[in-house]
């Protein structure tokens, strides 16, 4: 088995910068945290050099750090959030060379590359962190099971129960009478059910809805599709697909603590694992990203995932601080 390669004699400031990058991904930063980044980078030329070195490293790892510098420094209204006690460490490494105080506020609202929860997610009525799952009853006849990194908000409406899936994945059970419906807003569409169970997933601009029981109607762009049990449909800004059969056991595997993979490229599987695992796995090799994966992975044993990929595909593993792993 190939031993993971590690970068020796790392600069402590670089370690500090890389550590903050991971904390941004796995924590819940406040505006005060972002402004602390600005102060840290301005504190000393050595801090500035560490930031640039960290940015170069992540570019090499395949993270598009250039997108951060390209973000427009537009003014944004930021809801004040109480700062949390944190060790004084830097997260400046991922802000990009041209980011200033106005851009820092902008990034609280629009976090680059999904490195931390957006302000909209942080203000949700119900939210789960990485690796967390939660069951909530939002009405006597409506219950939700929230998967990892999921944000749901309650929306006022007459004669219906209305919620919004801001991001993430939720399994919904609605037992309303015929005169009242549950409406879930997700992306730029809506899901309606009076008596029906469904699973909804809203990630990276794509919404996927699977009917688990009863009747569920999905509406997007003026088009509606009535789903029957074991049918699924997806929609995005490009439009809505046609309904197709789906394996509901695979859809709901997360509720049993599993990820079930059937003929998926490694890049897609890694994206899924990253939703649950602390830190971040990055596949830097194009051919490796395309390798097909089949298998079942336990959510409480994802620390073994990297070793499995290393063994199965002969991948080279580079471990960085804070749980960041490069596969090449």
Flag whether pLDDT at 123 surpasses 90.
no
- What is the DSSP code (8-state) at residue 242? -
Domain ranges for the chain? 5-122, 126-248, 257-327
CA distance 161 to 192: 10
pLDDT-derived band at 162, boundaries 50, 70, 90: very high
If you average pLDDT over every residue of the chain, what do you get?
77
Flag whether pLDDT at 195 surpasses 50.
yes
Strand partners, 165: 152, 186
Rounded mean pLDDT, 77-87: 41
Identify the CA nearest to 136 among candidates 187, 171, 109.
171
Q: Are 152 and 163 in contact (CB under 8 A)?
A: yes
C-alpha dihedral sign at 281, 100, 90, 149: negative
The 10 Å Cβ neighbour count of residue 302 is 20
CA distance 48 to 41: 5
Rounded mean pLDDT, 71-78: 39
Strand partners, 115: none
H helices of 164-292, in order, are: 248-251, 266-276, 286-290
| CATH of range 257-327; options 3.55.50.30, 1.20.140.10, 3.40.50.300, 3.40.50.1460 | 3.55.50.30
* Structural class in CATH, domain 126-248: mainly beta
- Higher per-residue pLDDT: 114 or 327: 327
Flag whether pLDDT at 79 surpasses 90.
no
Burial of 216 by CB count in 10 Å (0-12 exposed, 13-18 middle, 19+ buried)?
Answer: buried
pLDDT-derived band at 96, boundaries 50, 70, 90: very low
Q: Are 65 and 27 in contact (CB under 8 A)?
A: no
With both helix axes pointing from N to C terminus, report the angle between 12-26 and 45-60 in degrees, rounded to the nearest 10: 60
Identify the CA nearest to 231 among candidates 261, 210, 217, 250.
210
Give residue 92's pLDDT: 41
Flag whether pLDDT at 127 surpasses 70.
yes
Flag whether pLDDT at 208 surpasses 70.
yes
Q: Are 280 and 116 in contact (CB under 8 A)?
A: no
Span 34-46, pLDDT tens digits:
566 667 767 888 8
- What is the DSSP code (8-state) at residue 84? P
Flag whether pLDDT at 245 surpasses 60.
yes
pLDDT-derived band at 320, boundaries 50, 70, 90: confident
Give residue 36's pLDDT: 66
């Amino acid at each position: 088995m190939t031993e993971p390669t590690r970068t020796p004699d790392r600069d402590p400031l670089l370690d500090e910068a890389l550590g903050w990058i991971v904390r941004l991904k796995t924590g819940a930063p406040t505006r005060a945290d972002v402004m602390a980044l600005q102060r840290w980078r301005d504190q000393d030329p050595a801090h500035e050099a560490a930031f640039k070195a960290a940015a170069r490293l992540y570019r090499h790892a395949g993270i598009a750090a250039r997108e951060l510098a390209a973000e427009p420094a537009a003014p944004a209204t930021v809801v004040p959030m109480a700062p949390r006690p944190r060790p004084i460490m830097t997260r400046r490494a991922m802000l990009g060379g041209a980011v200033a105080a106005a851009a820092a506020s902008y990034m609280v609202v629009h976090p680059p590359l999904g490195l931390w929860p957006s302000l909209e997610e942080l203000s949700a009525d119900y939210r789960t962190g990485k690796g967390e799952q939660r069951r909530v009853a939002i009405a006597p006849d409506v219950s939700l099971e929230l998967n990892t990194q999921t944000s749901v908000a309650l929306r006022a409406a007459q004669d219906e129960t209305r919620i919004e899936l801001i991001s993430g994945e939720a399994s919904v059970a609605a037992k309303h009478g015929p005169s009242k419906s549950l409406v879930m807003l997700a992306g730029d569409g809506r899901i309606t059910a009076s008596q029906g169970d469904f699973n909804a997933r809203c990630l990276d601009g794509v919404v996927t809805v699977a009917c688990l029981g009863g009747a569920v109607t999905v509406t997007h762009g003026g088009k509606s599709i009535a789903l029957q049990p074991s049918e699924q449909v997806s929609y995005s800004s490009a439009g809505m697909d046609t309904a197709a059969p789906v394996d509901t056991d695979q859809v709901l595997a997360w509720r049993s603590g599993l990820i079930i993979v059937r003929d998926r490229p490694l890049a897609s599987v890694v994206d899924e694992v990253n939703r649950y695992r602390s830190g971040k796995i990055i596949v830097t090799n194009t051919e490796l990203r395309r390798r097909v994966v089949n298998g079942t992975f336990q959510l409480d044993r994802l620390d073994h995932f990297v070793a499995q990929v290393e063994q199965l595909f002969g991948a080279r593993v580079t471990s960085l601080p804070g749980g960041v792993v490069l596969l090449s």
